[in-house]
């Protein structure tokens, strides 16, 4: 009788824990011992094998880890903006960007981010914003000169930026002036 009561209590609490989720996906698909969960409202998060919540189900989408960086997963907020979480479930880049590109496109340790205004900046490999999204375009580092990238501002002025986000050359030049200066 005791076993039946304990089993009933366990079954009740297990069903209550699972009741908050519309679906619990397979464990290990995103990270070992984690399962993606979906709420009735369509939001996603993660739980561990004990059903302990690791990432609150507040995102409209969660990409797999490693898609743009080995240590991060892209998350999409219910407002449609993107951020990054790490493999501990911590938010490392707030969900405030219209787009986050793959790390390494402009520099091995950087990723371009796009603001809702359509301007570009970049974050480092820790998810920290280094260059605020102020530019129409950001070139690859080293394309014109070592350790610098060409940037274009919204008035179509060109300048050069370093990997720390500092404008080494202000965006007041023409493209031809930049090329002449660094050739």
Integer Cα distance of 100 and 61 in angstroms? 14
Is it the case that residue 119 has pLDDT exceeding 60?
Answer: yes
33, 43 in Cβ contact below 8 A?
no
Residue among 85, 122, 86 at smallest CA distance from 102: 122
Six-digit token string for 90: 């911590």
Six-digit token string for 99: 């787009």
Q: In which residue are the tokens 């102020």 written?
A: 134
Give the per-residue pLDDT at 7. Answer: 39
Half-sphere exposure of 5 (CA within 13 A, CB side): 2
66: left (phi over 0), alpha (psi -120 to 50) or beta: left
Instruction: For residues 53-81, give the mean pLDDT.
Output: 97
Q: For 33, which DSSP code?
A: T
Instruction: For residues 103-123, give the mean pLDDT.
Output: 98
Mean pLDDT of the chain: 91
Q: Measure CA 22 to chain center.
A: 25
Digit-coded pLDDT (tens) for 8-61? 443 333 333 445 899 999 999 999 999 999 999 999 999 999 999 999 999 999
Q: For the chain, where are the alpha helices, taking DSSP H only?
A: 2-19, 175-181
- Percent of the chain beyond pLDDT 70? 90
Six-digit token string for 172: 């007041």
| pLDDT class of 183 with cuts at 50, 70, 90 | confident
Distances (CA, A) of 55 to 20, 89, 102, 108: 14, 5, 23, 28
Is it the case that residue 5 has pLDDT exceeding 50?
Answer: no
Instruction: For residues 52-81, give the mean pLDDT.
Output: 97
């Amino acid at each position: 009788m005791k076993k039946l009561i304990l089993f009933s209590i366990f079954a009740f609490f297990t069903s209550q824990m699972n009741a908050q989720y519309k679906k619990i996906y397979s464990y290990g698909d995103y990270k070992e011992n984690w399962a993606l969960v979906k709420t009735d409202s369509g939001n996603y998060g993660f739980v561990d094998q004990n059903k302990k919540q690791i990432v609150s189900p507040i995102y409209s989408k969660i990409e797999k880890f490693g898609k743009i960086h080995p240590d991060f997963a892209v998350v999409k907020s219910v407002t449609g903006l993107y951020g990054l979480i790490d493999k501990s479930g911590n938010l490392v880049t707030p969900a405030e960007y219209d787009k986050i590109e793959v790390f390494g496109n402009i520099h091995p340790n950087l990723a371009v981010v796009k603001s809702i205004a359509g301007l570009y900046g970049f974050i480092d490999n820790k998810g920290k914003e280094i260059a605020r999204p102020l530019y129409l375009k950001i070139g690859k580092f080293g394309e014109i000169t070592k350790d610098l990238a060409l940037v274009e501002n919204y008035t179509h002025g060109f300048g050069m930026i370093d990997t720390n986000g500092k404008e080494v050359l202000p965006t007041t030049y023409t493209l031809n002036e930049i090329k002449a200066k660094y050739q």
